[in-house]
Structure 1
Amino acid sequence: MKLSALTKVAAISGLAALTLTSCAANEQAPAASDGETSSSSLAGELIGAGASSQDAAQNAWIAGFQTANSGVTVNYDPTGSGAGRETFQQGASSFAGSDRAFEAEEITAGPFEACAVDSGIVEFPAYISPIALIFNVEGVESLKLDAPTVAQIFEGKIAKWNDPAIADQNEGVELPDLAITAVHRSDESGTTENFTDYLAAAAPDDWSVGAIESWPSEFGGEGAQGTSGVVAAVTSGVGTIGYADASQAGELSTVEIKVGEEYVAYTPEAAAAIVDASPLEEGRGATDLAITLDRKSTESGVYPIVLVSYLVGCEAYADPANAELVKSYFSYIVSEEGQSAAAEAAGSAPITASLRDKITPAIDAIS
C-alpha cells in the first residue's frame, strides 16, 4: 500500500491546499453558546482524510470541537475510505475515516509513518448509519420483508409486487399486479457493499455475488448515481424499490426487515443495537476495536442493514502534539455531545453507552 514519492508529495500538497481553503470556513465556526471565548489552551492544526460517508458528521464535529478549542484548526478531506487509509499510512494525515477497519495483514505490513516506531493503531466505530429500503407503490405505506425475498427482488427473480413471497409476509395489504423496478447505485458505493454484505450473510442461498461495491449488470433494474439519485429514481418511478442512507428516506415508504421472528423498522436505536450485538474481531490489539457485524443476528430490536464507519489513529504518535490533538478530537467525537451533533447533521445513529465504554480506554491510550 505504499505510495510513490510523487504521489505522496501530491497527497500532502493536496491536504495543504485543503488547509488553506478550509481556514476561511473554520473561521465561521459558531461562538460558544454562552457568548464567552474558549478557555481551552489546546492549539495546533489537525489533518484527517477518508470516508465521504462521514463528511456531514465531520463538519458538525469540527464546528463543535473548534468552538470549544478556538486555537485548533481541524481539516477533514472526504477523499474516500481507501485514499484516507493510504494517506494516513504515509503520514500525510494524523487520522483517517474509513468505512471498514484495516485488515490485520495491512496493519502487519505497515508502516504508519505518523506513528512512533512499533506503535499499534487505534481504530473504533464512530459513525453508524442505517440503510433503509425505500419503495413507491401507490396505496402501500409499509411492507415487511425477509432477507431471501429482498435478495430475490434485487436479483430480478421476483418481478411483481403481488408475488406470493411478498404477499405471504404482508397479510391484509392490497398488493398490485405491478412490475417491480429495483433501483441500485450505478457508482461504486460503500452503501452497496454494506447492503449486499447483509444479503450475502442473511440470504446466502438467494444472493449469488457476495458483498460488492459495483452492481452486477446481469441483475437488471435501474441504476442511479449516488444516494440522491436512488432517492430521486424511487420517488419519480412507479413500483420502485431501492436502498439508501436512512437519513435521506424523506417521506418515502420503508420496509421492516425480518430479524428472528419479528420485523424491525430502522431506527437510530435499532441500528446502534446491531453493533452492540456484534463481536469484536479476534486477534486484534486492545486499542483496535474492529467489529464483525452479525448481519444474521436474531436478537430482538436490532436492525441489521447498517454502514459502520471507523476513525483510525496512532496508539503512539511520532509527534506528541498530534497525540494531544487527536486524543482530544476523538474524545469529543464519541461523547454524547459529539454523537448528538452528528445525528442532527447527518441522521446517524449515536453509539450506545456500552460501546462508548469500550472505546474510551482505547482513546485514553493515545500518547
Structure 2
Amino acid sequence: MTDHRKKHALRLRWRQRVAAPLCVAALTLMTSALTHAQDLTLRETGSTLLYPLFTTWVDAYTKTHPGVHITVGATGSGNGIEQVLAGKVEIGASDAYMSDAEMRQHPQIINVPLAIAAQTINYNLAGLNATHLKLDGTVLAAIYSGAIRNWDAPQIAALNPGVKLPHQAIVPIHRAEGSGDTFVFTQFLSFSTSDWENAHGYGTTIAWPGVPGGVTAIGNDGMVKALQATPGSIGYVGVSFTDKLSAVQLGTAALKNGAGEFVTPSKETITAGAASLGTRTPADERLSLVFAPASGTYPLVNYEYAIVSAKQADATTAAALRRFLLWSIVPSETNEAYLDTVHFIPLPPHTWELSQAQIQSIK
C-alpha cells in the first residue's frame, strides 16, 4: 500500500456504543435550555445519497419542533458545499469533505460527520445480474479509462473463473454534476492504481476520460435509471438507493478489499470497513474511510457530512442549527432505525464525540 493510501486509510478498532447513555443525557440537558421552539427556517441541500435520510429526519424532527421549518434538496454534494460557501443554505449535505485548499480559503466552515455510508458498484448484464461479479479497483480504473472495453476481457475473466462472460461492450456511467459519490469512487480508483491517481486523481468533479459510448447521469436516482436503461452498463450508486437497485434487479459487484477478499456491501461489512479506518480521525474530521485493510471489510465506505459555517448570521439560527444537528446524531434506537431505512451506519463513540464538539462550536 502506498504512503498516499496509508494517509487516507487510517485505522479504528470499533468500540461498543457505550457512550449512548451519556450522549442522550447531554442532549437532554442542552435541549431543556431551549424551551421555546424558534419560528425560523433552516435550509439544506446537496448529497443525493443523504437526501433520503434528510427527508426522514426532517419529517420526524419538525413534528416535535413545530416552530422550526427545514427545507431539503438533492442537488449533489458539490452544489451543497457551494451553497454553504455562498451563504445561501445553512447545511450543505456532502459525501465528501472539503480539501485543505478549500479550508484555508474558508476557515469558518466545519465538516461534521452525521453517519457512515457506502457506495455500491452496479451493472446491467443480462443473465448475470443475480451473480455478484468480482471486480477490483485496478479493473474498474481500466474500465473507466477505456483500457478495458468488453465484459469478457481477460482481466475480468481472471477475477471470475467459471463465469461465462458475454462479449459485450461495457458502458461506463459517471455522474455529470459535482458528486460526493464521485469523490469516494475516484478515491477508490486512485488508491488502487497510481495510473489513475496520476492521470485523473479524485474529487467531486474530475476530467473523466472520453470513453466511446460512455454515459452521464445526474444524481443517484439518475444513475439507477441510466443503469436500468443501458444494457452492458456499469456505475457507482450510493447505498441509500439499495432498495431501488434491487427493485429493478441490477447486479451488485463484490469488491476486492485491502485484505485481498471479494466482499459485497452489507451492514456488517460496511460496519467492519468503518471500524478499521478511523482511530486517528482528526478533530476537523476530514478523513477518507476508503480501502479498509482488515478482513471482512467493504472498501467503499465514507463519512456523510454536514458542511456548515461555524459563524451563523444570528444566535437564534445558530441555536436551532446546533439543536437539529445534535438531535440527528444522538445515539438511540429511534435514530438507528432512521439510519437502517437507508442502509447507513451510526457514528462510533469516538467520531460522535468529535462531531458533537464541532456542532457546539456553531455560534
Pair 1:239-2:228 in alignment:
no
Q: Which amino acid aligns with 1:235?
A: Q
**2: CA distance, partners of 1:43 / 1:105:** 36
Shift of 1:326: 1.6
Q: Which amino acid aligns with 1:171?
A: P
Q: Is the 8 A contact 2:122 2:252 kept in 1?
A: yes
Give the structure 2 partner of residue 3 of structure 1.
none
Give the structure 1 partner of residue 132 of structure 2.
142
| Counterparts of residues 258-337 of structure 1 (less than 5 Å) | 258-259=256-257, 260-279=259-278, 286=283, 288-291=284-287, 293-306=288-301, 308-315=303-310, 317=312, 319-335=314-330, 336=332, 337=334
Give the structure 1 partner of residue 214 of structure 2.
222
Q: Is the 8 A contact 2:136 2:256 kept in 1?
A: yes
The structure-2 alpha-carbon separation of the partners of 1:359 and 1:230, relative to structure 1 and needing over 3 Å to count, comes to closer
Sequence identity (%)? 23
Q: Is the 8 A contact 1:41 1:69 kept in 2?
A: no
Give the structure 2 partner of residue 23 of structure 1.
none
Aligned to 1:73, the other structure's residue is in SS state strand
Q: Could you give the per-residue CA deviations for residues 96-144 of structure 1, whole angstroms, max 9, x where no partner exists?
A: 33343333444444475xxxxxxxx543222443221112333331211
| Counterparts of residues 1-367 of structure 1 (less than 5 Å) | 41-53=36-48, 54-89=50-85, 91-110=87-106, 112=108, 121-140=109-128, 141-176=131-166, 178-185=167-174, 187-190=176-179, 191-205=181-195, 208-211=199-202, 213-214=205-206, 216-226=208-218, 227-246=220-239, 247=241, 248-250=244-246, 251-259=249-257, 260-279=259-278, 286=283, 288-291=284-287, 293-306=288-301, 308-315=303-310, 317=312, 319-335=314-330, 336=332, 337-344=334-341, 346-366=342-362
**2: CA distance, partners of 1:85 / 1:149:** 31
The structure-2 alpha-carbon separation of the partners of 1:179 and 1:50, relative to structure 1 and needing over 3 Å to count, comes to same
Comparing 200-209 with 65-74, greater Cα deviation is found at 200-209
**1: CA distance, partners of 2:263 / 2:80:** 34
Aligned to 1:234, the other structure's residue is in SS state helix
Answer 1 or 2: higher relative contact order, Cα 8 Å, separation at least 6.
2
- Count matched residues: 315
**2: CA distance, partners of 1:75 / 1:87:** 13
Q: Which amino acid aligns with 2:355?
A: I
Aligned to 2:44, the other structure's residue is in SS state strand
Shift of 1:294: 4.6
Shift of 1:263: 1.1
Aligned to 1:298, the other structure's residue is in SS state coil
Report the TM-score when normalising by structure 2.
0.73
Give the structure 2 partner of residue 115 of structure 1.
none
Shift of 1:148: 1.1
Report the TM-score when normalising by structure 1.
0.73
Q: Is the 8 A contact 1:340 1:350 kept in 2?
A: no
Q: Is the 8 A contact 2:122 2:251 kept in 1?
A: yes
Q: Which amino acid aligns with 1:52?
A: S
**2: CA distance, partners of 1:265 / 1:357:** 30
Q: Is the 8 A contact 1:56 1:342 kept in 2?
A: no
Shift of 1:329: 0.5
Q: Is the 8 A contact 1:46 1:94 kept in 2?
A: no
Q: Is the 8 A contact 2:76 2:177 kept in 1?
A: no
Q: Which amino acid aligns with 2:202?
A: A
Q: Is the 8 A contact 1:129 1:306 kept in 2?
A: yes
**1: CA distance, partners of 2:45 / 2:267:** 23
Q: Is the 8 A contact 1:195 1:306 kept in 2?
A: no
Q: Could you give the per-residue CA deviations for residues 228-268 of structure 1, whole angstroms, max 9, x where no partner exists?
A: 44333433444332222232422212111111221111124
**2: CA distance, partners of 1:311 / 1:217:** 30
Structure 2 portions without partners, runs of 5+: 1-33
Shift of 1:184: 1.0
Aligned to 1:184, the other structure's residue is in SS state strand
Comparing 63-72 with 304-313, greater Cα deviation is found at 304-313
**2: CA distance, partners of 1:269 / 1:354:** 19
Give the structure 1 partner of residue 17 of structure 2.
none
**2: CA distance, partners of 1:96 / 1:153:** 32
The structure-2 alpha-carbon separation of the partners of 1:221 and 1:155, relative to structure 1 and needing over 3 Å to count, comes to farther
Aligned to 1:125, the other structure's residue is in SS state strand
